[in-house]
């Protein structure tokens, strides 16, 4: 789908868990908002998976390029 936003930066908590995302249009989404946007197909390059704990999590699409993994995106304040 053309024109979808992408995540360009992330915020992490003290444990290194992702807590918020900045999109290519400058919007800042908390984790719950980001889950909803990804689920709606509004964000390119990511998908949702169900963790062992039953929670839903966002991860980058497996494309073999580690540079665009969510953990490797720049951080923002």
DSSP secondary structure string for all residues of the chain = -TT-B-EEEEEE-TTS-EEEEEETTS-EEEHHHHHHHHHTT-BTTEEEEE-TTS-EEEEE---S-GGGSGGGSPB--
Q: Which of 28, 26, 12 is nearest to 71 (CA)?
A: 12
Tokens of 10: 């992330």
What does the pLDDT average to over 46-70?
92
Q: Quick one: pLDDT at residue 65?
A: 83
Instruction: State yes or no: pLDDT of 75 exceeds 90.
Output: yes
Is the pTM above the cut of 0.85?
A: yes
């Amino acid at each position: 789908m053309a024109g979808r936003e992408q995540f360009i930066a992330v915020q992490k908590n003290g444990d290194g868990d992702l807590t918020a995302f900045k999109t290519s249009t400058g919007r800042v989404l908390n984790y719950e908002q980001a889950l909803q946007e990804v689920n709606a197909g509004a964000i390119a390059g990511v998908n949702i998976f169900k963790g062992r704990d039953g929670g839903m999590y966002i991860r980058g699409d497996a494309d073999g390029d580690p540079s665009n993994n969510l953990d490797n995106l720049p951080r923002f304040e």
